[in-house]
């Protein structure tokens, strides 16, 4: 018997239905050019479920919205990240910590942390910096699957190749036997980081206190101006006076009406 399922194309009506949901739920704007991407990412989910047409998937979603929406968001988000990505930011971070924050306990938020590389890179920089070493990092993402990976802190060896060899030895364990080919973050590096599921678009999340530094890099790029303004306003409110916001290299706060001051490439300070 032939068990190869043939999949049709995602039609415009179903694409519009899905992209409206993704926009309303996650703030992610999907242009017409993203149709092929949505189609291929959804295919993986449909295969998992044994569903053979996009139409059938959309019907399933309509009928099981509350159970399925998390899976839909998980398969649509783009999670590309790496250790010490956009590395100049980590030198700036160290300078800020040593020159301005060395007298206090530091709180950092990695918003849109994906699989955790950004949060662990921040933790390494803080542990290597000259200050009292009391810090906590909140790392959040809308995608529950990437958060599972972040919490485990186990990465293919290739993903840690760019880390300085001394740092690698100090902060990672080399996997053996069934973990050969993987590196695991040591427990003491995890200790100051908590990973939490947060949708930046959600009006109801409340976080305790302020963050001296917020990283939200390569997340805003998926939002339109309206959503960007809303999210940036929240970051502004969670920063104390003098706090720093790090965006991705390709992101800026141009045309956003908030009193942030430019400090360095995609780094801003609340004054
Ligand atoms: C490309 S990754 C960036 C990861 C990391 N910040 C970096 O720069 O390497 C973007 C992340 O933003 C998350 N994201 C997208 N929309 C979000 C939302 N509404 N709330 C929270 N996280 C979101 C995605 O799930 C994804 O993991």
At 5 the pLDDT is: 55
Read off the pLDDT band of 133 (50, 70, 90). Answer: confident
Is 19 among the residues known to form the active site?
no
| Whether pLDDT at 1 is above 50 | no
| Whether pLDDT at 116 is above 90 | yes
Q: How far is the CA of 114 from the centre of ligand 1 (A)?
A: 6
Q: Is 10 exposed, middle or buried (CB count within 10 Å of its CB: 0-12, 13-18, 19+)?
A: buried
Q: How far is the CA of 204 from the centre of ligand 1 (A)?
A: 19
pLDDT tens-digit readout, 51-75? 999 999 999 999 999 999 999 999 9
Q: How many CA atoms lie within 13 A of 180 on its CB side?
A: 2
Q: Does residue 230 sit in helix, strand or coil?
A: helix
Longest Cα pair distance anywhere in the chain, in angstroms?
71
- Closest CA to ligand 1's atom 2: 79
Contact predicate 248/218, CB 8 Å: yes
Alpha helices in 27-87 (DSSP H): 35-49, 54-63, 65-76
- Ligand 1, atom nearest to 81 Cα: 9
Ligand 1 interacting residues, C-beta cut-off 6 A: 26-28, 77-81, 85, 112-114, 118, 141-143, 146, 199-201, 217-219, 222, 248
Is 62 among the residues known to form the active site?
no
> What values do phi and psi take at 182, rounded to 5?
-125, 155
At 2 the pLDDT is: 46
pLDDT tens-digit readout, 221-258? 999 999 999 999 999 999 999 999 999 999 999 878 89
At 132 the pLDDT is: 82
Which among 112, 122, 140, 215 is the best mutation to test ligand 1's pocket, defined by most ligand atoms within 8 Å of the CB?
Answer: 112
Domains of the chain listed by start with CATH number: 12-76 (1.10.155.10), 88-270 (3.40.50.150)
């Amino acid at each position: 018997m032939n068990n190869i399922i043939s999949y049709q194309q995602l039609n415009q009506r179903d694409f519009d239905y899905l992209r409206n949901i993704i926009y309303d739920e996650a703030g992610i704007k999907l242009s017409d050019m993203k149709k092929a991407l949505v189609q291929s990412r959804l295919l993986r989910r449909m295969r998992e479920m044994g569903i053979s047409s996009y139409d059938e998937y959309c019907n399933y979603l309509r009928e099981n919205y509350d159970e399925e929406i998390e899976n839909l968001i998980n398969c649509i988000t783009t999670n590309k990240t790496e250790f010490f990505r956009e590395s100049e930011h980590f030198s700036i971070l160290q300078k800020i910590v040593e020159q301005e924050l060395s007298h206090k306990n530091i709180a950092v938020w990695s918003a849109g942390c994906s699989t955790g590389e950004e949060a662990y890179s921040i933790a390494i920089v803080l542990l290597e910096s000259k200050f009292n070493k009391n810090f906590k990092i909140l790392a959040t993402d809308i995608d529950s699957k990437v958060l599972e990976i972040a919490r485990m802190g186990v990465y293919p060896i290739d993903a840690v190749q760019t880390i300085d060899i001394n740092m690698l030895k100090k902060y990672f364990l080399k996997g053996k036997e069934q973990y050969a080919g993987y590196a695991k973050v040591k427990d003491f590096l995890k200790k100051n980081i908590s990973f939490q599921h947060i949708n930046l678009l959600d009006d109801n999340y409340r976080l305790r206190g302020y963050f001296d530094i917020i990283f939200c890099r390569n997340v805003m790029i998926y939002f339109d101006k309206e959503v960007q303004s809303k999210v940036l306003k929240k970051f502004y409110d969670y920063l104390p006076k003098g706090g720093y916001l790090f965006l991705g290299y390709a992101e800026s706060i141009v045309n956003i009406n908030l009193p942030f001051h430019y400090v360095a490439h995609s780094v801003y300070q609340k004054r």
